[in-house]
Amino acid sequence: MKICIILGTRPEIIKMSPVIRACEKQGLDYFILHTGQHYSYTMDRVFFEQLELPEAKYNLDVGSGKHGEQTGKILSGVEPVLQKERPDAVLVEGDTNTVLAGALAATKLHIDVGHVEAGLRSYDRRMPEEINRVLTDHCSDYLFAPTETARRILLGEGIPDTKIFVTGNTIVDAVFQNLEIAKDRNNALNDLHLEPKNYFLVTAHRQENVDVKERFKGIISGLELVSDEFGLPVIYPIHPRARKMMNHFGLKANGIEFIEPVDYLSFLQLESKAKLVLTDSGGVQEETCILGVPCVTLRDNTERPETLEVGSNMLVGTEPEKIFEGVKLMLERENNWENPFGDGKAGKRIVEIVGEIRG
């Protein structure tokens, strides 16, 4: 059996790292195809090295672009690789253009598709990610649902139960495996002169937030309120695009410490020791839940409802007062929720399921 793992963004590399490690451990015939959706493979190679992962066999380096253009480039780049390699199964993870294009290319060549993290829904079709994840689910052969909630969603959309496997979320495996690797590195808290549980960490990068002046301004004002009230450092590793939009809109900020983006292992260290994290990232909502760190989500909806149900997370949107109130409420809660995303063996389970079906 031969498996092709297709990925193109850093969150996908993180969430697929346990699957890759499981393939390595079991000595399977597999290869990695990197589309370069966010960064070139040259830039991402450091990322692979940090996470101690083998190199990608194929690099498409499609780069950024409009959704249709980027999806088309990935589709036309993936197809000849699959025709040449003829894998028995293709694995994709998440909701990016890489995921949709990889799944489509494989489906049209009658190659089985496994969708890791299937069944997530925000029910907001304005988000390109929502379109990608719905379409990918409906053309996949194996749907690896992270939770029972995701499984019920898929069944409700008419997907046969025989295609759905509740595996837990690979993010649990990734957090613990990668924190272990991070222990051998320099401590990001020391570099920034921070004390554990004595700072707030921020990530805000989504198009619907940073490309809309009112929403981005609301986030910045909310962070200023948090800084004023608690008198603790508010650390915001700001993405170049978000910084560009901040300058474009002429937004100013007091009490927020903007720093250059940090590498994933450093971010994991910062995240695990933060007092609270404010984010618009889906993955960070999961990671904070697993790490026992309170989270406030700067969005109007989430495809991670489990974090709301267990009480690790709160949706606040982008209005300053709501952000401030959300932070106060979350800090009053006990950090004793149960992690709903599984036992940290999802990667192994996924590989074993594919092996049993295709073996």
Looking at the domain 187-332, which fold is it?
Rossmann fold (3.40.50)
Burial category of 88 from C-beta neighbours within 10 Å (exposed 0-12, middle 13-18, buried 19 and up): middle
Q: Which two tokens stand for residue 166?
A: 């509740």
- pLDDT tens digits for range 98-116: 999 999 999 999 999 999 9
Residue 193 among the catalytic residues: no
The residue extents of the domains of the chain are 2-169+343-358, 187-332
DSSP-based three-state secondary structure for 276: strand
Per residue in 46-76, is it b (16+ CB within 10 Å) or e — as a string?
A: ebbebbebeebebbbebeeeeeeebbebbbe
For the chain of 359 residues, list the mean pLDDT of each consecutive stretch of 10.
95 96 96 89 85 95 90 97 98 97 98 98 89 98 96 98 98 95 89 97 94 97 98 95 95 96 93 97 95 97 94 98 98 94 96 90
Helix, strand or coil, per DSSP, at residue 159:
coil
CATH assignment, 2-169+343-358: 3.40.50.2000
Output the pLDDT for position 130.
94
Residue 300 has a pLDDT of 95
Catalytic residue among 67, 205, 239, 248: 205
In whole angstroms, how far apart are CA 289 and each of 13, 27, 293, 309, 342? Answer: 20, 32, 6, 11, 12
- Calpha distance 282→185 (Å, rounded): 26
Task: Take residue 242 and report the two structure tokens written for it.
Answer: 């978000």
Instruction: List, for residues 190-211, the tens digit of each pLDDT value.
Output: 999 999 999 999 999 998 999 9
Vertex 122 angle, CA 121 and 128, to 5°: 95
Q: Is 292 left (phi over 0), alpha (psi -120 to 50) or beta?
A: left
The answer to whether 2-169+343-358 and 187-332 have equal CATH topology is: yes
Nearest to 288 by CA among 272, 304, 299, 301: 272
Q: Where do the DSSP E strands lie in the chain?
A: 2-7, 29-34, 58-59, 89-93, 112-116, 142-145, 164-166, 200-203, 234-237, 257-259, 276-279, 295-297, 313-315
Rounded to whole angstroms, how far apart are CA atoms 88 and 114?
Answer: 11
Task: Return phi, psi of residue 153, to 5°.
Answer: -60, -45
Give the model's pLDDT for residue 295. Answer: 98
